[in-house]
Chains A and B, each alone.
Chain A
Amino acid sequence: MPNELDSSRILAIVEEKGKSKEHLLSILLAIQNASGKNYVQEEWAKIVAAELNLSLSMVYDVLTFYSMFSTKPRGRHVIEICKSTPCYISKSDVIAKIFEKHLGIKVGETTQDQQFTLQYTACVGACDIGPVAKIGEEIYGNLTEDKINSIIIKYQGE
């Protein structure tokens, strides 16, 4: 797992996604995924801005506007617990506490080994299986303490 992306990797991502403004979000998401730390560094944003002929401030505006982006390093796996009302009334607050207990961190924090960041998110469109947590692209629904335990073990093994 690379810790830092070099400029050639950033350029390759821009090339692959397409050098136009309509691909900005997908380029930044791809960079974030490839970072290994679920974030977009300013240096990488500068390269993207230059390639797409955008100002850095405009790319920064985008990075801070959309909730899927982070400009600070996060854990290798970001666990996002849905806190919207359909999940909330299905006890997502209880689920958050169970994650906190099992990971030994509070929501908003990252484990010391940099493996997990725990955070809240808005609706992920899986209200029929609430309470849910999203890890990467995977959605885990109808969560219970047992399920949470096995999910954490699964990702620890990766």
Chain B
Amino acid sequence: MEKIVKLISQRCNKITPASVEEYCKANGFNGLKKAFTMKPADIVAEIKKARLLGRGGAAYPAGAKWEHLLEIPEFPKYIVCNADEGEPGTFKDKLLLSQDPLGIIEGMTIAGYVFNSNDGYIYIRGEYAAIQRNFQEAINHAIARGYLGNNILDTGFSFHIHIVTGAGAYVCGENSALLNSIEGKAGRPRIKPPHLAEVGLFSLPTLVNNVESFANIPVIVQLGGEKYLSYGTKDSGGTKLVCLSGHVAKRGVYEVPFGVTLRDIIYDKEIGGGTTQGQKLKFFHLGGQSGPCGIPDQLDTIYCYKALRSAGLSVGSGAVVVMDESVCVVDYLKKVTEFFIHESCGKCTPCREGNWQLFKILCKFQEGLAVEEDFAVMKRLADAMTNASFCGLGQSAAVALTSCLKYFKDEFKAHSKKQCPAGHCFIDERGE
């Protein structure tokens, strides 16, 4: 099978991003034109056939989400694009936002048409300030050429896209926190239910999808759901943008069809190209800080939602961070936990306190002071955080730690004896 398939990244680095003319020449807006000839319910049916799972990380079936909103009789409805990409190791949305903004605009506009919505919001993280300006330029050009704004392509349908900036808060990637942030509040997650489809932005019915999910919509409308599905596996339709970073030769964003293996992603010469200077692979971290880590024995796992889940791994945001043997697992997890301490919104105790306590125990290991009981305490804390945290951030904050305890318990134990197999910790004490 082909290891790189460019369905949504076909135009990236090929056209002037905000140019409607170049976008149209490269197959742009054909999805929107076709959508206008279809009934909203038929478009949703194609998305269901495509088995598109939400590409932000949660992997909720997009078709089911759209169908739910379609059945809600209240109007107006809002379309919201989640462009608050803050998951370390993830920079895929940046590629689409900066290189193919019109693709996202087209996807959001199709959604607007399906739900008879007149307003869409794209929440772009504050760190992408330059991208926000370029995106506004693309919006302006689309309006000037009649593909956005009032009376789009003389259909009588009007749709406006508004850009809202973030200001540095990872938790705003959580959909309800993101809506609070658009409303000018601190981005703390909301209690659910009510579902966002019913009580969303400004308390009105709302669709929230990730950038990559919206970019897939015009492709699915054009190809049809079945054809789109055929690029992936039976359960995981289409392609995925994966982002490679860490100790890998060719860091970057690649669009791969579901069905390739992790080995393909990390080692294929067209994709990752192996580890930096060929060092031995120690482990890899999938899906971002909130995802699980895996080991070389799992390299032949097929990259799709189902097979990864069976192997205790996950697609998540599409991040693949590669670590060679110079990385100490305890030290790495300490940094992961530090990130969650910083990003926890503080609203619920399991997340706010749990991450602190895990961090303290990891410090004990790194100082050679940990005892056997600490393993049980870490497990208890991780379980409490997973089961009792308020939102996905807390629920997934201990996932990396739990996976590493499975594979690297000996490395933890060695630290209890002031030994670091990676040669990273205790260096000062050895006087080196």
Residues of A within 8 A of B245 (CB): 86, 127-128, 130
- State A88–B125 Cα separation when bound (angstroms): 22
Most B CB within 10 A of own CB, among A20, A25, A26: A25
Residues of A within 8 A of B87 (CB): 123
- State A125–B88 Cα separation when bound (angstroms): 7
Residues of A within 8 A of B243 (CB): 127-128
Known interface pairs A85-B289, A122-B343; 18 further A-B residue pairs with C-beta atoms within 8 A, sorted by A's residue number: A22-B184, A25-B165, A62-B185, A65-B169, A65-B188, A67-B167, A67-B169, A69-B167, A84-B335, A85-B89, A85-B332, A89-B247, A122-B342, A125-B128, A127-B251, A127-B321, A128-B253, A137-B129
CB distance from A103 to the nearest CB of B (A): 22
**Residue-wise interface mask of A (69-90) relative to B, using a CB-CB cutoff of 8 A (1 in contact, 0 not):** 1000000000000011110111
- State A123–B288 Cα separation when bound (angstroms): 11
**Residue-wise interface mask of B (105-125) relative to A, using a CB-CB cutoff of 8 A (1 in contact, 0 not):** 000000000000000010001
Which residues of A are at the interface with B, using a C-beta cutoff of 8 A?
20-26, 28-29, 52, 54, 58, 61-62, 65-69, 83-86, 88-90, 121-130, 134, 137
Residues of A within 8 A of B127 (CB): 68, 124-125, 134
Contact A25 B166 (CB under 8 A): yes
Contact A25 B167 (CB under 8 A): yes
Interface of B is mostly: mixed
**Residue-wise interface mask of B (184-218) relative to A, using a CB-CB cutoff of 8 A (1 in contact, 0 not):** 11111000000000000000000000000000000
Q: Choose one: A22, A24, A85, A90; the contact of B339 (CB below 8 Å).
A: A85
Which residues of B are at the interface with A, using a C-beta cutoff of 8 A?
85-91, 94, 121, 125-130, 162, 164-170, 181-188, 243-247, 251-253, 285, 289, 319, 321, 323, 327, 332, 335-336, 338-339, 342-343, 345
Contact B166 A66 (CB under 8 A): yes
- State A24–B182 Cα separation when bound (angstroms): 9
Contact A127 B167 (CB under 8 A): no
- State A16–B321 Cα separation when bound (angstroms): 41
- State A58–B183 Cα separation when bound (angstroms): 12
Residues of B within 8 A of A20 (CB): 184
CB distance from B130 to the nearest CB of A (A): 5
Residues of A within 8 A of B130 (CB): 137
Contact B251 A129 (CB under 8 A): yes
Contact B168 A68 (CB under 8 A): yes
Given known contacts A66-B168, A89-B327, A52 and B184 CB-to-CB distance under 8 angstroms: yes
Given known contacts A25-B181, A127-B321, A84 and B169 CB-to-CB distance under 8 angstroms: no
Residues of A within 8 A of B170 (CB): 122-123
- State A105–B181 Cα separation when bound (angstroms): 34
Contact A122 B88 (CB under 8 A): yes
- State A124–B88 Cα separation when bound (angstroms): 8
CB distance from A119 to the nearest CB of B (A): 12
Residues of A within 8 A of B90 (CB): 123, 125, 127
Given known contacts A86-B246, A127-B321, A67 and B168 CB-to-CB distance under 8 angstroms: yes
- State A8–B142 Cα separation when bound (angstroms): 35
Residues of A within 8 A of B162 (CB): 22
CB distance from A46 to the nearest CB of B (A): 16
Contact B321 A85 (CB under 8 A): yes
- State A3–B126 Cα separation when bound (angstroms): 24
Given known contacts A62-B186, A122-B342, A125-B128, A26 and B165 CB-to-CB distance under 8 angstroms: yes
Contact B332 A89 (CB under 8 A): yes
Residues of A within 8 A of B332 (CB): 85, 88-89
18 contacts between A and B (CB under 8 A): A22-B183, A23-B184, A26-B165, A29-B126, A29-B165, A54-B184, A61-B186, A65-B169, A67-B169, A68-B168, A84-B289, A86-B245, A88-B335, A121-B168, A122-B168, A122-B170, A127-B319, A128-B245
Contact B164 A86 (CB under 8 A): no
Residues of B within 8 A of A28 (CB): 167
- State A89–B325 Cα separation when bound (angstroms): 11
What are the 4 A-B residue pairs with the smallest beta carbon separation, nearest first? A21-B184, A84-B88, A66-B167, A68-B168
Contact B88 A89 (CB under 8 A): no
Given known contacts A25-B126, A89-B247, A126 and B184 CB-to-CB distance under 8 angstroms: no
- State A20–B319 Cα separation when bound (angstroms): 36
Q: Choose one: B88, B121, B125, B185; the contact of A85 (CB below 8 Å).
A: B88
Residues of B within 8 A of A129 (CB): 251
Residues of B within 8 A of A127 (CB): 88-91, 243, 245-246, 251, 319, 321
CB distance from A153 to the nearest CB of B (A): 23
Most A CB within 10 A of own CB, among B170, B184, B246, B285: B184
Residues of A within 8 A of B319 (CB): 127
- State A127–B95 Cα separation when bound (angstroms): 12
Residues of B within 8 A of A66 (CB): 126, 166-169, 186-187
- State A21–B185 Cα separation when bound (angstroms): 8
Contact A24 B184 (CB under 8 A): yes
